[in-house]
Structure 1
Amino acid sequence: MFTGIITDIGTIRSAEQRGDLRLEIACSYDMAGVDLGASIACSGVCLTVVDKGEDWFAVDLSAETVSRTAQGVWNEGGRLNLERSLKLGDEMGGHIVTGHIDGIGKVVSAEASGDSTEIRVRAPADLAPYIAAKGSITLDGVSLTVNAVSDVEGGCEFTINLIPHTAEVTTFESVETSRAVNIEIDILARYLRRMTEAKS
């Protein structure tokens, strides 16, 4: 379990196809405190540490995981938002994040709004019922608040605001239109939808 509060930015220093996709990710974590088998969210995807060194760790991604996440995220040299799994007593700074990607969104626009940046994202139709104004959403592992939502053909579009601090400590420091992003909907929205379906 995670909170969507990014604690490091990693860089993929190697990507090797060996049945599964093996990534070695450079980071600034104290790896002496990270056990093999530990979970680290990498741009929103919960992955297991299978090897490590002083300033890096390795993870394996199945073909299913690669196919269900944003294209280009796992390329050598790519930068990833990192978060270690939540421990008992840790502060819940964002919202409950599982590290399971629900779909892929696309950045439609990014415009200055005061000191912040307003980003508009298009989400697929199957996720639209779970996205609501003032609700939580996770983009590439980052916990964010939805400003507004509008229905469009084939899905919905929603806006979020990136404050300068969030942009600085995540891979959203520069946002290009058409960028693909990993989306995880709020788990509470998922359960509420299921309860509503069960009652009807």
Structure 2
Amino acid sequence: MFTGIVTAVGTIEQVEQRGDLRARIACPWDPSTIAIGASIACAGVCLTVVERGGQPGASWFAVDISAETVSRTARDTWREGARINLEPSLRIGDELGGHIVSGHVDAVGTVTDWEPEGDSMRVTVSAPRDLAPFIAAKGSITVDGVSLTVNAVRDQLDGSVRFGLNLIPHTAEVTTLGELAQGSQVNLEIDTVARYLQRLESLRR
């Protein structure tokens, strides 16, 4: 379980195709704090640490990424040189600064608009029709592992949905979201609470 509060940005140093895809990710953590078998959200995807090494401030860990995960996440997420948002799993007693995040990507979205608004950036993302019932103004959504608040929602004629987000300068600087541009693909995870509310509503019909 995660909160969508990114604690570091890592870089994929090496990708090796085995039975699954193995990625080695450089990060600024102390390797002694990275446990084998631990869960780390990588660009919003919950993955298991299978190797680790390095030294404090210049460590690395490796994860195995199944073909299913590759097929359901944004293109270029797992390429060598890619920068990805990192968050270790939530521990009892940790502050829940964002919202409850499972690390399971529901769909891939596409950035359709990107423009300054004051000191911040207003970003519009298009999501497929399956996610439309779960996205609401003032609700939460996870974008590439970052917990954000939905500002506005516009349903489209084809059933898809476009929603607006506001990125303050701090979020743009400490995550990879500041590198987004029109046409960028992003990993999306809907709010867990919205998922269960939709399920309860469907059973009443």
Class of the TM-score when normalised by the shorter of the 2 chains:
over 0.9
Answer with 169-178 or 143-152: which moved more. 169-178
1:184 aligns with 2:184: no
Distance (Å, rounded) in 2 between the aligned partners of 1:59 and 1:174: 24
SS of the residue aligned with 1:70?
Answer: coil
SS of the residue aligned with 2:170?
Answer: helix
Residue 132 of structure 2 contacts residue 159 of structure 2 at CA under 8 Å; is this kept in 1?
A: no
Distance (Å, rounded) in 1 between the aligned partners of 2:180 and 2:200: 36
Distance (Å, rounded) in 2 between the aligned partners of 1:14 and 1:189: 37
Counterpart of 2:104 (choices 86, 90, 100) is: 100
User: Gaps (5+ residues) in structure 2?
Assistant: none
Distance (Å, rounded) in 2 between the aligned partners of 1:74 and 1:182: 12
Q: Which residue number corresponds to residue 157 of structure 1?
A: 162
Distance (Å, rounded) in 2 between the aligned partners of 1:91 and 1:119: 27
Cα shift readout 1:61-89 (whole Å, capped 9, x = no counterpart)? 00000000001110000000000000000
Identity of aligned residues (%): 62
Q: State the TM-score, normalized to the length of structure 2.
A: 0.97
Cα shift readout 1:125-168 (whole Å, capped 9, x = no counterpart)? 00000000000000000000000000112400000000000000
* Poorly superposed stretches of 4+, deviation over 3 Å: none
**Structure 2 counterparts to residues 80-119 of structure 1, below 5 A:** 80-119=84-123
Cα shift readout 1:111-130 (whole Å, capped 9, x = no counterpart)? 00000000000000000000
Cα shift readout 1:87-119 (whole Å, capped 9, x = no counterpart)? 000000000000000000000011000000000
Letter in 1 for 2:80: E
RMSD: 0.6
Distance (Å, rounded) in 2 between the aligned partners of 1:116 and 1:174: 14
Q: Which residue number corresponds to residue 126 of structure 2?
A: 122
Instruction: Quote the offset at 1:7 in angstroms.
Output: 0.2
Distance (Å, rounded) in 1 between the aligned partners of 2:114 and 2:4: 21
Counterpart of 1:58 (choices 57, 62, 66) is: 62
Counterpart of 1:76 (choices 73, 77, 80) is: 80
SS of the residue aligned with 1:53?
Answer: strand
Q: Which residue number corresponds to residue 40 of structure 2?
A: 40
Distance (Å, rounded) in 2 between the aligned partners of 1:174 and 1:110: 11
Q: Which residue number corresponds to residue 150 of structure 2?
A: 146
Q: State the TM-score, normalized to the length of structure 1.
A: 0.99
Q: Which residue number corresponds to residue 170 of structure 1?
A: 175
